[in-house]
Each structure stands twice: as C-alpha cells, then as structure tokens.
C-alpha cells in the first residue's frame, strides 16, 4: 500500500432515501461527519427544533462520526424534552479507488478498487408520537430540571461528607 495513493472515495449509498416511514416534508437532515463540531450541530438543531412549525430532525452518520451523532441526539433530547426517538443502524458501502505512485502512475490499468462496509446510524427525533411497535423506538424521557439536579447533587455531597465525618469521629473516641 505504500506504493499506492487513494484517489477518491465513492459512497454507493448516496441518493437512497432515509430509512424512516412517514417523515414530515420539512424534516431537517443533519449529516454528521468526523470533523463536525458538536457545539455547531447542537446549536443549529436547537434553534431549528425550538421553532413552532418544526416537527422532526434526523441525525445521520457513518464510521467514526457515529458517536458524535448519538451525542448530539442525546444533548438535544435533554435540552428540548418530550422528543420521541427512532434509531436505525445499518452498513454503508464505500468504494475507495487507489492508483500507483511514481513512475507507474501513467498506467491506469494498475488502479485498485476496495469496497468497505462501514457502520452507519440514522436517528429521528420527533415532537409528534412515532410508531411504538417499530424497532429502535424510544419514548420521551422526563429529565430533572437543571436546578433540581444541582440541588440533588449538593444534598448528596453533604450527606456523604456528614457520614464520613461521623465515622472518623467514632474512630477517635
């Protein structure tokens, strides 16, 4: 492989529709890539989903970007709340074309094609209820508000400190 260079990567799955039934016509399709910044993706998604006429958003990713797409969806679910989720996991076929370097580069017959199957994910978040019988469905979760979480953590920390100080006091007596 040191004598070859990758010329192009072709996505054979481009142009295929999203794997969800009954998508809203104004659904936003967020294509998450390896270099995407989570802060930018979530910022756009939050402003989009807070709009009154918006109903659904889809995060799609493959390869190394799958974890970023999951992170974005989880952050959005916590920030907005009450969102229904449907997740589809698939494989995406990529074709890499490699050509020789150096003096053999003039001969195009020596090019090499490599097909790769890469994991991909599509996450649909919807304000409207989705089909609960479909594989990959998750209903809305109720998360505690930010203030309640903070109070809970503070009270837990204090109770732990009190118990540990009581145990050390008993050991001294």
Q: Given this model, what pLDDT does residue 141 score?
A: 79
- Highest averaged pLDDT of the listed ranges 4-13, 63-72, 136-145, 146-155: 63-72
Rg of the chain's alpha carbons, rounded to an integer?
Answer: 24
Q: Could you tell me which of 145, 89, 93, 90 has the C-alpha nearest to residue 115?
A: 93
User: 112-126 and 56-62: which strand pairing?
Assistant: antiparallel
Distance (Å, rounded) from C-alpha 12 to C-alpha 91?
11
Mean pLDDT of the chain: 81
DSSP H helical ranges for the chain: 38-49, 66-80, 146-172
- In three-state secondary structure terms, 134 is coil
Q: Is the predicted pLDDT of residue 76 greater than 90, yes or no? A: yes
* pLDDT one-digit tens code per residue, 121-135: 999 999 999 988 888
């Amino acid at each position: 492989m040191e004598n070859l260079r990758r010329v192009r990567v072709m996505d054979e799955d481009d142009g295929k529709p999203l794997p969800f039934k009954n998508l809203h016509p104004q659904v936003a399709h967020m294509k998450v890539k390896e270099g995407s910044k989570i802060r930018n993706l979530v910022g756009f998604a939050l402003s989009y989903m807070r709009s009154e006429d918006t109903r659904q958003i889809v995060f799609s990713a493959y390869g190394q970007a799958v974890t970023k797409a999951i992170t974005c969806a989880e952050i959005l679910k916590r920030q907005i709340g009450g969102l229904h989720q449907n997740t589809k996991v698939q494989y995406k076929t990529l074709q890499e074309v490699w050509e020789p370097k150096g003096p053999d580069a003039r001969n195009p017959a020596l090019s090499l094609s490599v097909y790769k199957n890469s994991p991909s994910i599509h996450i649909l978040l919807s304000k409207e209820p989705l089909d609960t019988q479909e594989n990959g469905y998750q209903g809305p979760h109720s998360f505690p508000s930010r203030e309640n979480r903070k109070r809970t953590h503070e009270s837990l920390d204090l109770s732990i400190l009190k118990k540990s100080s009581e145990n050390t006091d008993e050991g001294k007596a």
